[in-house]
Amino acid sequence: MLTKKKKKLMLPCHAVAFKPSIILSQLTVENLKLIAKCHNLKTKSKVKSQEIQSIIYTHICENFKKYVYIFQCIKNGNKSEKHKCDSLKATKKYQTKNAKKYKATNLKSVKKYQTKNPELYKATNLQAIKNYQAKN
């Protein structure tokens, strides 16, 4: 029997269709504490993840209701894309915050690359010029 209560779905404990041990091991301590709080389970402030997992796993609801948590599966590809996007945002933020320092170190790196690989630099620069001229 599904009922809505405070925008969370509740259903009997025996209707849960996943193995709690698998899900619990993937959750952060913060999320585990939130689940324990929803079940009125007492936890200490500096409790380890394993302890909270065992408390939740051995818990039997007295009122036979349990919160249903919906987990979004994130594929590794999406996770790496998100990481790349976050990293790019952080880089851009740093570059705008420290513009003079960034420009100086970037110029130094470019000069170093040009002296190490002069032929490769000339070829890639020529290709970049041709691409730019083709666009305009």
Coil, strand, or helix at residue 3? strand
Domain that holds residue 112: 76-135
Q: Which residue has the tokens 């970049």?
A: 128
pLDDT band for position 97 (cuts 50, 70, 90)? very high
Query: Could you tell me which residue, 8 or 51, shows the higher pLDDT?
Result: 51
Domain boundary among 35, 67, 99: 67
Give the chain's domain count: 2
| Residues 13 and 61 occupy one common structural domain | yes
Domain termination site, one of 43, 67, 91: 67
State the residue for tokens 């513009």. Answer: 99
pLDDT at 128: 94
User: In the predicted model, what is the mean pLDDT of residues 15-22?
Assistant: 54
The rounded distance, in Å, linking the Cα atoms of 101 and 104 is 5
Using CA atoms, how far apart are residues 51 and 69, in angstroms rounded to an integer?
A: 20
Q: What is the pTM of this model?
A: 0.37
Strand 66-67 versus strand 3-5 pairing type: unpaired
Q: Distances in Å between the alpha carbon of 94 and those of 57, 58, 102? A: 44, 47, 8
Q: Of 67, 92, 110, which residue sits at a domain end?
A: 67
- pLDDT tops 60 at residue 71: no
